[in-house]
Structure 1
Amino acid sequence: MRMPIFGRGPDRPPRFEVVKPKKRDRELTSRWSRAARAYLDKHPFCAECQRREGIDVPAIVVDHIVPRHYGGELWDRSIWQGLCRKCDLGVKRPLERLAVEMGDVLLLINWMAKPQTRPGRWAYVAIAVECDDAERREQSKVGR
């Protein structure tokens, strides 16, 4: 009776192939990390919270107003904005999905600059992710 072969033998291919990232990809990642950190040093507060509520909440994400996979340029700093996690997940991404569904991603530029131009429930941002105003104001005081 033949015994099953476990593991790799000379006649069996490996079960998983180890893929090492290309040098160019590693350099791009480190370059982006440095650029994003520098941008957040110059723009430390969430652009959406400042526009909407006038409070200073620390930004932790550098967001492309026009997403890269829809025509936004990676290194065009004029379309970058700092966002807190709640505005990124609760405001920007749903608006991005809506713009894609409407077939015009460039609407995001206007919507992010002027919240009153946003369609329907997003006009003055009834965010899907509810947040405690007292908590945000407390974060704002810490950030100053």
Structure 2
Amino acid sequence: MGTQNGGNGGVVINTSSLGGLTSSWCFYFPIYAATKHGVVGFTRCVAKEPLIKENNVRVSAVCPPAVLSNMLATFPKQTCYEKEILASMKEDRLRKLRPIDVAKIVMDLIEDGQYNGCACIINRKMAPKVIPEAKL
């Protein structure tokens, strides 16, 4: 992948979650939220790593809302907050995506060279929304 070994560079897309950017709907499962926040932080740090940049590798993260999957089908039942979780998933802003929707957006991120070191909220109805890193 890297240009040091004769490659052209590449793209790494990590999968986080909307829960990796906010705790407003994710407070029912703090371990999940913490790991998804970690993916976002890891992505942003790796994208700035000099060897990654020198080798023309871009690194970004997608942060979808709920995705229709086996995890989504079984997870709420495994918690004491099943009613609250299911109610929150009915909100329009948390519209559930199909795996193919996520895959299409990932392909767009790979093909569009502007995305690097960013966490993107994804949704079927809009282009990826880049959430900027906090400035200190």
Q: Using structure 1 for the length normalisation, give the TM-score.
A: 0.24
Q: Which has the larger radius of gyration?
A: 1
Q: Using structure 2 for the length normalisation, give the TM-score.
A: 0.25
Pick the structure with more strand per residue: 2
Pick the structure with more helix per residue: 1
The structure with higher relative contact order (CA 8 Å, sep 6+) is 2
